[in-house]
Amino acid sequence: MKKSAFFGALTVAGFAAAMASAGTLDDVKAKGFLQCGVSTGLVGFAAPDSNGNWAGFDVSLCRAVAAAVLGDPQAVKFTPTTGKTRFTALASGEVDMLARNTTWTFSRDVDLKFTFDGINYYDGQGFMVPKSLGVSSAKELDGATVCIQTGTTTELNLADFFRANKMKYEPVPIETNAEARQQFLAGACDVYTTDRSGLAATRATFENPDNYVVLPEVISKEPLGPLTRQGDDQWSDIVRWTLNALISAEELGITSANIDELAKGTNNPEINRILGTEGNLGGMLGLDKKWAYNAIKAGGNYGEIFEKYIGEKTAIGLSRGLNAQWKDGGLIYSPPFR
């Protein structure tokens, strides 16, 4: 830590020497911490508290990766990125991975040269309107004024949706969620559109949430997931399989409460393989045997993280829906650990 502090000081002073760009894994191990790009503040997904500690659904993934690689979930530094800066930050090596509600699209994967390492949240773009407007379907929004948070795929989806339904609208582009909320509540726009998780989070902060409804239409698929730079397969594998370990842990019933018990050995060979008591999956990744144990121990399995930050008991109150395990009719599915 002392050493990294020193390096940080050097960087600030502008003496940053070009680091050898070997694999990201070696870099992270050498630095002693993971540099993770998150959003500048989205309730439930990534937000700093008043002491500057980051917490949230996306943040937990960063902590799990840090735990898997370095054994310490606290060995993460968070870089808040905006819609504009996120890809540059990743591409230029400023961050090692991006866990920031970023939609997996063809062009980002192929043209921008990133690797999407799985999906941690299945989202879709929706609309929120005041109940007093008397609108029950998005198809009735012809001529409406729509607040959009810029810098995402939402603008494109919105344009496509209204064009396909031969409707007109007045877009009001807005930079931050706080401003969108202000304009929406003051009636400067009729509709607020963004990812449905974001809508739910915003609605939860209203004084009278019951006066507003999220319309049933989902106009786009928004699979959100972590990204890494293309071409560093080992690092991408680590991020991908850390996420898969969290998902499998939920499926297999490994929780942060019983993990120490299970790590002593069980009858289920897959649990044993994940927790490193059987085989050497960690070694294949270039990590130690306990990698998945550490990752799950850091914040619990996928289900635990979901419930803690964005689940139905939180202010945001998202139900699992598409994000339930495949056995429960959802889409969350991990390839086998074999």
Partner 1 sequence: MSAFTDPPKESFRLGMLIYDTRYRSMTIQIVALIAFLAGAAWLVNNAANNLAALGKPLQFSFLWEPSGYDINQRLIEYNSQSPHIRAAFVGLINTLIIAVMGCTTATILGVVIGVLRLSKNWLVSKLMTVYIETFRNVPVLLWIVFTMAIFIETMPAPREFRSGAATMKLFDSVAFTNRGFYIPEPLFSNSLGNIDVFGIFKISNDLLAVIAVLVVSFLLQRAVKRRADKIQEATGIRPVTWWQRVGLMFIPIVVLLYVLGFHLGYPELKGFNFKGGIHLRNSLISLWIALSLYTAAFIAEAVRAGIMAVSKGQSEAAFALGLTASQTMNLVILPQALRVIIPPLISQYLNLTKNSSLAIAVGYMDITGTLAGITLNQTGREMETLILLMLVYLTISLSISSVMNWYNNAVKLKER
Partner 2 sequence: MSDVAYVRTEMVPEKAPPASQVGPIKWVRENLFPDIPNSVLTILALYFLYLALSALLPWIFHSAVHANSLNECREIIREAYGPDAVGACWGVIVDRWHQLLFGFYPQDMYWRPVTAFVLLLVALSPVLFSQVPRKMLMFTAVYPFIMYFLLWGGSIWLPLSVMFGFVLAPISHKIVAPLAGNLAGVIAGFAVPILWWGLAAGPVAEYLHSVAPVGIEYIESAKFGGFMLSITIGITGIALSLPLGIVLALGRRSDLLIIKSLSIGFIEFIRGVPLITLLFVASTLLNYFLPPGTTFDIILRVMIMVTLFSAAYMAEVIRGGLAALPKGQYEAADALGLDYWKAQRLIIMPQALKISIPGIVGTFIGLFKDTTLVSIIGLMDPLGLSNAIRADQAWNGILWELYAFIAAMFWIVCFSMSRYSMYLERKLQTDHR
Catalog residues that contact partner 1 under the rule CB under 8 A.
Answer: 83-84, 87-88, 91-92, 108, 111-113, 132-133, 141-145, 150-152, 155-156, 158-160, 162-163, 169-175, 182-183, 186-190
Report the alpha-carbon distance of residue 280 to residue 337 in Å, rounded. Answer: 11
Q: Are 153 and 101 in contact (CB under 8 A)?
A: no
Q: Which does 52 bind (CB under 5 to 8 A by kind): partner 1, partner 2, none?
A: partner 2
315 binds, among partner 2, partner 1, none (CB under 5 to 8 A by kind): partner 2
The C-alpha torsion from 243 through 247 and 250 to 256, rounded to 10°, is: 0
Q: Which is nearer to partner 2, 77 or 308 (CB)?
A: 77
**Is residue 273 a contact partner of residue 321, using CB atoms and an 8 Å limit?**
no
10 lies in the binding site for partner 2 (CB under 8 A): yes
Residue 66 touches which of partner 2, partner 1, none (CB < 5 to 8 A by kind)?
none
Choice from 60, 125, 177, 323 touching partner 2 (CB under 8 A):
177
3-state secondary structure of 318: coil
Q: Which is nearer to partner 1, 94 or 261 (CB)?
A: 94
Distance, in Å, from the CA atom of 25 to the CA atom of 113, rounded to the nearest integer, reads 19
324 binds, among partner 1, partner 2, none (CB under 5 to 8 A by kind): none
> Whole-number minimum distance, CB 283 to partner 1, in Å?
30
| Residue among 198 and 303 whose Cβ is closer to partner 2 | 198
Q: How far is the CB of 246 from partner 1 (least distance, A)?
A: 29
- Quickly list DSSP for 192-223: EEEEHHHHHHHHHTSS-GGGEEE-S---S-EE
User: What is the three-class DSSP state of 177?
Assistant: helix
> Residue from 74, 165, 182, 211 that binds partner 2 (CB under 8 A)?
182
